[in-house]
Amino acid sequence: MTGLSNSFSPETLRTLGWSLLHFVWQGFALVAIASITMALLRRASARYVVGVLTLVAMVASVAITFVLLLNSQSAMRATENAATPMIAFAQKAIFAQTVQPVLAGAPAAKTFSAQTLPLLVEFWLVGVLFFTLRTAGSLIYLERLRRAASVSVAPALLAKCRELQKRLGLQRVIQFCECRWLDAPAVIGWFKPVVLLPVRALTGLTEDQIEAVIAHELAHIRRFDSFVNLFQVVAESILFFHPAVWWLNRRVRIERENCCDDVAVAACGNHLGYARALTTMEEWRATPALSVAANGGPLAARISRILGLRHTAENRTAGLGAGFVCFGAAAIAASLLWGVSHPAAAARIEKVLLAPVARTAHAATATVTPARISSPGVLASMVVAPDPNSAPEAQPDPQAPAQSSAKSSYIEEMKSVGLDHLDVDQLVSMKIQGVTAEYVKEMVAAGFKPDPDELVSMKIQGVTPQYIKSIRDMGYAPDGDQILGMKIQGVTPEYIKQIRDLGFKPDVDEIVGMKIQGVTPEYVKQIRDLGFNPNADEIVGMKIQGVTPEYVQQIRALGFKPDADEITGMKIQGITPEYVKQIRDLGFNPNADEIMGMKIQGVTPEYVKQMRELGFNPNADEIVGMKLQGVSAEYVKALAAEGYKLNAEEATEAKIMGITPEFIREAKSHGFSNLSMEKLIQLKHANIF
């Protein structure tokens, strides 16, 4: 596991992993129901409601499954046991062996939970981070667009907009602005919506067409579509891995545009003119992803629907077909996860898929054939076919008394230690892994009451009574999962003793965490020799972030004297000796906090040089403030072109207050000239224009 998942406990990672896997079939099932329901509904508004509610159910299903599995050990055990056949089968299909039997049954699920699920969650977290950053970038762009779109529309057009707003029953404060950066009308903002009307649309459409597209945008505001759209983006970021989510989101957006088209046509009553407006704006298409625009959605379908040419029966058939396909996908995904395949069917699947592997092994070495398959996903034994050139084996005497069944005697042994009512998978797995009655008794004597799955897992990982005793002699009292985790991570009594000799007193979770992250006694000694005295959490944090003795020495050679938290923070922010030297060469002499602040805000040597070339001579705090507020070389040059040559503090304040070259030109167009920056800020704050 890497840094993204280190803040989660192994139990949380396992539960989250199973919840995401469950959503594979849940997502298909929910979208199948939605697809069929939407296909049977005639009104776009009803289909839209069904789509949004289904999307809410998708997000809720993951959360409910996570809470259920986290708070119910029986539900978690049922999930792992049910998934065992398919996991074991996948192991054999991918890692087939020619003589040694593969790990089967409960151990497969335990190994999958302990090793594969955290990796799946890691990939999921990376995906969520990527889509979240993408969304954040879009939100920042929208905010900049909102600030830039400050030119109000002409009084005549504003009056028409207000009249349309009143006709649609909208009492909210809505701002109507001209925009040069968009090619089609759009709405941005959630609590203070802004309708952006591009100059191109105002000059390229007729008066009736402009009225229709404005009504379309007002319909988005009346229906609070911006909030729903934001929820859709969040759902896509969280559940990005499931195609059903993307398909459903696309349908919701299509139906949303259909609903607003209905409002626009009802308000203006000109079907043909509105359809022509959509066709014209489609050629200009350029709108932000998080805005809601009049030219959104598939154009041909929308125009056909507005003009009454849409083939409802054909679309209904396609929707029903998609729903049944999703039902099939949900059934397949659920059966793979839950292992509900019939034993005979599982055996046939194994025979078909593993036959090429068996033939390859036969050609390369001796012939190995499956003796029998006693349950789904479990290969009970492997026997080596006899060599035809070898001497014949002695045949058993038919008169000899029949020996008792080994399987029956093993069952009796298990019953004698309290393990009765075992299913076939459990029996075969325990027998293969060498779980004996004596081993069970020793585990019970050690204070554990493990179930069959835990017994097999402990046996696989080599958990012995002697190992348990040695751990308890160190003062620990781990439960079954903890002792298994300690053994898996290679926590030995010697390792614990070495860590304790260094002054640490870690609990079970802390000692496992230190071992997982590769905290060795040697590493601790090296850090201590450098003058640090970290606790368990700090030493793990330093190791995770890659703080090495060499890095500490390089930073100290530059004059810094950071403590454990500061050196870890500098490493996290990617502060290198080279970066520090470059900043110092520019005349700065920052301390540890200042250098981290500069790095966090993205202050680069190139940025400092650009500001210096423009006549600025900022100190560390000023250069960080300029970068934080987005004061760029282009911005400074643009203000200078309008006659304003500012110092670092004034440029930062102007940027904070939203003083742009466009605003300055707007002020001049109203007869204001030679205004000081203070006066411009007062005009901006008062929202005069």
pLDDT the model gives residue 291:
47
Q: 229 φ, ψ to 5°?
A: -60, -40
Least confident of 37-41, 305-309, 340-344: 340-344
**The tokens 């409002």 sit on which residue?**
263
Is the distance from CB of 289 to CB of 140 less than 8 angstroms? no
Residues whose CB is less than 8 angstroms from the CB of residue 460 and which lie 6 or more positions away in sequence, other chains included = 103, 107, 110, 111, 433
Mean predicted lDDT score pLDDT of the chain: 76
Least confident of 35-49, 166-180, 581-595, 596-610: 166-180
User: What is the mean predicted confidence (pLDDT) over 500-526?
Assistant: 91
Label residue 454 by pLDDT band (50, 70, 90). Answer: confident
Q: Which residue has the higher pLDDT, 279 or 160?
A: 160
pLDDT the model gives residue 120:
83
Least confident of 98-112, 400-414, 438-452: 98-112
pLDDT the model gives residue 405:
42
Cα 350 to its chain centre, rounded Å, is 34
Tens-digit pLDDT profile for residues 234-288: 998 999 989 999 999 999 988 888 888 888 888 777 667 777 777 766 655 544 4
pLDDT the model gives residue 265:
81
User: What is the mean predicted confidence (pLDDT) over 613-625?
Assistant: 90
CATH 3.30.2010.10: does it fit domain 149-243+253-297? yes
Label residue 22 by pLDDT band (50, 70, 90). Answer: confident
pLDDT the model gives residue 383:
34
Least confident of 138-147, 488-497, 632-641: 138-147
- Identify the CA nearest to 221 among candidates 146, 283, 165, 156: 165
Give domain limits for the chain.
3-84+104-132+320-342, 149-243+253-297, 434-557, 577-686
234: tokens are 């969040």
- Three-state DSSP at 326 gives helix
User: What is the mean predicted confidence (pLDDT) over 560-564?
Assistant: 90
| Side-chain half-sphere CA neighbours of 528 within 13 A | 13
Is pLDDT at 80 greater than 60 in this prediction? no
User: What is the mean predicted confidence (pLDDT) over 55-71?
Assistant: 89
Q: What's at 257, amino acid-wise?
A: E
How far apart are the C-alpha atoms of 187 and 320, rounded to whole Å?
Answer: 34
Least confident of 81-85, 130-134, 515-519, 536-540: 81-85
How far apart are the C-alpha atoms of 174 and 546, rounded to whole Å?
Answer: 52
Q: Which residue has the higher pLDDT, 7 or 438?
A: 438
| Side-chain half-sphere CA neighbours of 128 within 13 A | 13
- Give the residue ranges of DSSP H helices in 223-288: 225-238, 243-268, 271-282
Tens-digit pLDDT profile for residues 569-594: 899 989 999 999 999 999 898 888 88
Label residue 51 by pLDDT band (50, 70, 90). Answer: very high
Is pLDDT at 94 greater than 80 in this prediction? no
Is pLDDT at 496 greater than 90 in this prediction? yes
pLDDT the model gives residue 385:
40
Label residue 406 by pLDDT band (50, 70, 90). Answer: very low
Tens-digit pLDDT profile for residues 327-382: 565 566 555 554 433 344 444 434 443 444 344 434 433 333 333 333 333 333 33
564: tokens are 């454990």
Residue by residue, what is the 3-state secondary structure of 312-353? Answer: HHHHHHHHHHHHHHHHHHHHHHHHHHHCCCCHHHHHHHHHHH
Is pLDDT at 323 greater than 90 in this prediction? no
pLDDT the model gives residue 611:
92
pLDDT the model gives residue 317:
57
Least confident of 196-205, 325-334, 453-462: 325-334
Q: Which residue has the higher pLDDT, 429 or 81?
A: 429
Q: Which residue has the higher pLDDT, 632 or 161?
A: 632
Is the distance from CB of 514 to CB of 506 less than 8 angstroms? yes
Percent of the residues in the chain that have a pLDDT greater than 70, as a whole number = 70
DSSP code at position 646:
-
User: What is the mean predicted confidence (pLDDT) over 606-625?
Assistant: 91
Is pLDDT at 18 greater than 70 in this prediction? yes
| 156, 161, 163, 169: CA torsion to nearest 10 | -170
